[in-house]
Structure 1
Amino acid sequence: MPKPKKPTEIEQIVAEKEEYLNGWKRAMADLDNYKKQVGKEKEMVVQFLKVNSVSGMLPIVANFEKAIGAIPTEQKESEWTKGIVAIKIQLDELLKKEGLEKMITVGQKFDPNLHEALLEEESEGEEGMILEEFEPGYRIGERVVKYPRVKVAKKRN
């Protein structure tokens, strides 16, 4: 039986080079994965902070809407009223820049993951369709910040 051949010095160096190169490639892949993970975590933190800050402003938006809706007709053209409306528009624009979107609900299919049903009403229309919105809902991206409160259609008996 022949003796196994001893690797030459060059073969040993080539084998070491391959080992080091493979280790370097693994380390680079690990670094790339780490960077991606940190990027995702950073995005999640930013989104969380946006949702928290924006959700705190939603009651203010609702109060502005109620106040503007309660302005007597004879005062709708006053400078004071126009100022209040302008402030509301500025607030809406600020929230929109932060990614806040008002959810469209009426005429949409009810989804318990996206909507809060307060009432069901018998209807000739398709069961499960949203008939009325009592309070608007808002989202940032795919994340719901405030669930809309709605009335949902059910089949007549």
Structure 2
Amino acid sequence: MTDNATPVDNLGADDLREATAGAAPEVAEHDGAAARIAELEEQLATARQETLYAQADIQNVRRRAEKDAADARAYAATGFARDVLSVADNLERALAAIPADLRDDDKFKGLVTGLEATGRELANVFGRHGLTKIEAMGQPLDPNRHQAMMEMPSDQPAGTVVQEMQAGWMIKDRLLRPALVGVAKKPD
């Protein structure tokens, strides 16, 4: 043995095989454990991502359900309100049909007063439930609120509402019924 020789250099081929044979399974076990850890970390990351998506979906469903419930509460009376609008229209027509001379007649004064009081109370009930009348006369035609039924020659600018045949109504911020209107056009 020389001074520069190491104990490994003095080993024979068989001795070297024996010494490294024991180390190979440890390296293989280490590589297998590292691969298993990497696989588990990937599964964990996937599970976390899926959990985040599921939580976001649950939150979106909750928000949508809350909005639907709020809309249902706010607009639950829509069908009923549409039906009652025809009653309000008929009441207005009845009041408009009473001639001025009969309004002052003592025989009809109580009837007129009662009809007017009923009209005011109906307007108050509409107001409490978010129903508002659409202003149409003199306004530019808005297809989201007005339904043009005819064009009429007029000195008003073209597209201006000059006649209202039936009042339009909103329920909160939604259209309940469009106003039926006549629109100005330039004279021929």
Indicate the TM-score class for this superposition, using the shorter chain for normalisation: 0.7 to 0.9
The runs of 5 or more residues in structure 2 that have no matched partner are 1-26
**TM-score scaled to structure 2, two decimals?**
0.66
**TM-score scaled to structure 1, two decimals?**
0.77
In structure 1, the residue matched to 2:130 is 99
Distance 1:123 1:70, change over 3 A: closer
Runs of at least 4 residues off by over 3 Å: 2-24, 43-49, 75-81
Aligned-pair identity in percent equals: 24
For 1:116 and 1:100, how far apart are their aligned partners in 2? Answer: 19
Which of these residues, 83, 92, 106, is aligned with residue 65 of structure 1?
92
For 1:134 and 1:38, how far apart are their aligned partners in 2? Answer: 39
* Cα shift readout 1:2-61 (whole Å, capped 9, x = no counterpart): 978533999888766655544433222111100122223334444553220100001111
Bigger shift: residues 55-64 or 72-81: 72-81
Q: How many residues align?
A: 156
Residues 78-89 of structure 1: pairs in structure 2 closer than 5 A? 78-89=109-120
Which of these residues, 53, 70, 73, is aligned with residue 26 of structure 1?
53
Bigger shift: residues 5-14 or 50-59: 5-14
Which of these residues, 68, 74, 80, is aligned with residue 53 of structure 1?
80
Bigger shift: residues 56-65 or 69-78: 69-78
**CA radius of gyration, larger in:** 2
* Larger relative helix fraction: 2
Shift of 1:114: 2.6
The runs of 5 or more residues in structure 1 that have no matched partner are none
| Letter paired with 1:73 | R
For 1:66 and 1:113, how far apart are their aligned partners in 2? Answer: 25
